[in-house]
Amino acid sequence: MKVLLVEDSIASLQVTQKFVEDAGHTVITARDGEQGIQQFLTYSPDLVLLDVNMPNMDGYRCAQRIRENCQQGNLWIPIIFLSAEITEDAIVKGIDSGGDDYLPKPVTQRVLSAKLRAMSRIADMRKELEAASARLKRLSSIDGLTQLYNRRHFDEVLELEWSRAERTQEPLSLILCDIDHFKAFNDNYGHIAGDDALVKTSQTIMHTLQRPTDLAARYGGEEFAIILPSTPTVGAMVVAEQVRKAMDALAIPHDYTDASNIVSMSIGVSSYYPGQAESSFVELLDAADRGLYRAKKNGRNRIEMQPL
């Protein structure tokens, strides 16, 4: 574990630090409450050992501040108070301040080692929970078939990127893609072939994007969306054409479309420039959708740019 030890007495700090290190853990030290809070935020320890009696800010207040400064969503980090005087009132005050346990001072190596073993089990369980939570969060934002982000995640990111564009005053572009005559493809080649075409299309889109900030999502059944932060219209048109050409290069046969004899895409593009007429990310989405509709109307397998 990473153990944060907050102790103003040099002698007590050195003894406790040695005990913790002998038990196989890493120690981060702080000499007062303010420094303890900063060390907690910097190093994200697995356990806090916190002296109660310190100048300027006592351990109770330090624990309260640590709890207040924990980022939302973080799992509980145990805090054990160290005190030479443990009374019922002190224990209640410590728990109410955000603490979890008390250790009498002077700390003995045997008792501290036992507490560390217990806290280590909690730390292991917390890490397992964090890993499971991260996996669940990823699964909730990923489309099961294509492994692209799903519509829900796309909506969240588009709103965030819109807000970022307003802050940074940089353009934000959006691409909407639709596979031409996909229903006819499914009806004639079967749903297994249709799923395979969707997977290959998704992989093609992902391989075409160059920047980690660009986000591709499955927008609907055979519709895909690409968010391009800090990208003007000309850049978005380049990306859209790269996607369209990459789809042509796949050369998936499609004899039931008037757009081509292979699986092709119609694409709509729109861009938002901060400072232009007041609008919203919903209007950006609507503009890209109108561009997509026009691309279909004008013969498919093409790109149309639609201003906001």
At 260, is the pLDDT very low, low, confident or very high (cuts 50, 70, 90)? confident
DSSP letters, 101-156, are EEEESSPPHHHHHHHHHHHHHHHHHHHHHHHHHHHHHHHHHB-TTT-SB-HHHHHH
Shared domain for 104 and 130, answered yes or no, is yes
Amino acid at 307: P
β-partners of residue 149 are 142, 217
User: How many domains in the chain?
Assistant: 2
> Looking at 104, 134, 164, which one is the last position of a domain?
134
Residue 146 lies in a domain: no
**Looking at the structure, do residues 171 and 73 belong to the same domain, yes or no?**
no
The residue-averaged pLDDT of 233-257 equals 96
Distance of alpha carbon 64 from alpha carbon 49, whole angstroms: 14
pLDDT greater than 50 at residue 73: no
| DSSP per-residue string spanning 231-276 | --HHHHHHHHHHHHHHHHHH--B-SS-SS-SB--EEEEEEEE-TTS
Candidate ranges 63-72, 118-127, 228-237; pick with highest mean pLDDT: 228-237
Q: What is the pTM of this model?
A: 0.65
Query: CATH number of the domain that 193 lies in?
Result: 3.30.70.270
* pLDDT one-digit tens code per residue, 285-298: 999 999 999 999 99
Q: What is the domain extent for residue 56?
A: 2-134
pLDDT tens per residue across span 82-91: 998 888 998 8
Do 95 and 227 lie in a common domain? no
